[in-house]
Amino acid sequence: MSCCVLVMLATGVELVEADPPAWSPAESPPRIFYQTVEELRSFYKLADAPRAARKGAYAMVHEDATVELGPGVRELRINGVNITLGRPLMRDSAGKLLISRDDWVYWIDPILRPTYIANRTKLDTVVIDASHGGHDTGTICAASRESQVVLQVAQALQKELETAGLRCLLTRTGDYFLSDRQRVELANAVPGAIFVSLHLNSSNADVSGPSVYTITPFPVDAASPRPSSAFCCKSSALAYALQYTLSSETHLPGNGCRHAQYSLLSSLTMPAVSVELGYASNPKEAAALTSPDYQTRLAAALARGILNYSRAAAPEAKIPVATAPPQKVKSQPRKEPVKSSADRQKKRDKDRSGRKNRPRR
């Protein structure tokens, strides 16, 4: 994180949150620092977007990204990708909308400005974690099992990434069980890596779409250590990049990007995400998830997301990870270049000779 961000953030409004977030088991929530959304807006020089896609939300534009924030919600959207904030937006006594400093620093900034992430290194290897395996089949997915579906997608992703020139390590290559500890040991031995764990989700039959979870940057309670900020920021950028390409590919809502307290993620010494490829509990999506065609499409979307992240978070990169969705370009009538009088004469001569050479009927 750049010094100027930290200096600016240090002047933030300090509040004690009345309602601790659901994911935090903390009995007495730690003190939380807030900034006004207005400060965030002026820091990134955000301009008003023409219209927010969501009712009641503010839409702001940052270079290629449209950021949407709404009062009283825990979500913001960057280019249509939902990001669940660690803390809900609040209002101060003067009615100003506030956002937690941690959400700003660990969620929003790495997405809008990955070039400010500390200790950026070239991505060398992708550790692809096909979750479950052996007696641990995971959830049932149509006629298949989660352990089998994620292994098939993992193998397809390996092919995509190796074709693109990245090294891959699969935590498992067959139907056998691995403990979280074994997965962590395998991954932590690989330098310059990121960790992408693949899962399937399960809920009501009508819920669908992919979601990406990443390590929470927040301390669980006042006494617990804060996870490494460098990994948190890189993981946020990676989570966004993957959710963006998965959403673009599937056009299904999913849960967007979220924080999680998974012990597997917090034991890793690298940027790490857990990807829920879709809902096995949705019969239509479950059928798709077991089809080789859909698995190939998911793998290709994951690979595009990883490559986007790798380019944006590379040491020499100057591009944001939040690339705008492709715009529809209106076809313009083609303008003829301005011609000199000599050119016009040449064209008249050519037309005349063309008329002469035209076959007679």
Please give the residue ranges that form the binding site for Zn ion (CB under 5 A): 131, 138, 199
Please give the Cα distance from 157 to 311 (Å, whole number). 18
Please give the Cα distance from 296 to 111 (Å, whole number). 27
In the complex with Zn ion, the residue whose CB is nearer, 138 or 320, is: 138
In the complex with Zn ion, the residue whose CB is nearer, 131 or 216, is: 131
In the complex with Zn ion, the residue whose CB is nearer, 131 or 214, is: 131
In the complex with Zn ion, the residue whose CB is nearer, 131 or 211, is: 131
Q: How far is the CB of 58 from Zn ion (least distance, A)?
A: 36
Q: How far is the CB of 88 from Zn ion (least distance, A)?
A: 28
Q: How far is the CB of 245 from Zn ion (least distance, A)?
A: 21
Q: How far is the CB of 276 from Zn ion (least distance, A)?
A: 8
What lies within 8 Å, CB to CB, of 345 at 6+ separation is: none
295 neighbors 157 (Cβ within 8 angstroms):
no
From residue 109, give the alpha-carbon distance in Å to each of 60, 124, 134, 272, 304: 14, 24, 40, 18, 21
Q: How far is the CB of 90 from Zn ion (least distance, A)?
A: 34
In the complex with Zn ion, the residue whose CB is nearer, 9 or 268, is: 268
Max Cα-Cα span within the chain: 95
Question: Helix crossing, 292-312 with 229-250: angle to 10°?
Answer: 140
Q: How far is the CB of 279 from Zn ion (least distance, A)?
A: 12
In the complex with Zn ion, the residue whose CB is nearer, 65 or 184, is: 184
302 neighbors 249 (Cβ within 8 angstroms):
no
Q: How far is the CB of 270 from Zn ion (least distance, A)?
A: 20
259 neighbors 199 (Cβ within 8 angstroms):
no
Closest CA to 139 of 184, 182, 198: 198
Give the pairing type, strands 75-78 and 65-69. antiparallel
Q: How far is the CB of 61 from Zn ion (least distance, A)?
A: 37
Please give the Cα distance from 345 to 348 (Å, whole number). 5
87 class by beta-carbon count within 10 Å (0-12 exposed, 13-18 middle, 19+ buried): buried
> Among all residues, whose Cβ is closest to Zn ion?
199
Q: How far is the CB of 161 from Zn ion (least distance, A)?
A: 21
In the complex with Zn ion, the residue whose CB is nearer, 175 or 221, is: 175
167 neighbors 126 (Cβ within 8 angstroms):
yes
Please give the Cα distance from 288 to 141 (Å, whole number). 10
In the complex with Zn ion, the residue whose CB is nearer, 138 or 209, is: 138
How many C-beta atoms surround the C-beta of residue 113 within 10 A?
21
In the complex with Zn ion, the residue whose CB is nearer, 101 or 258, is: 258
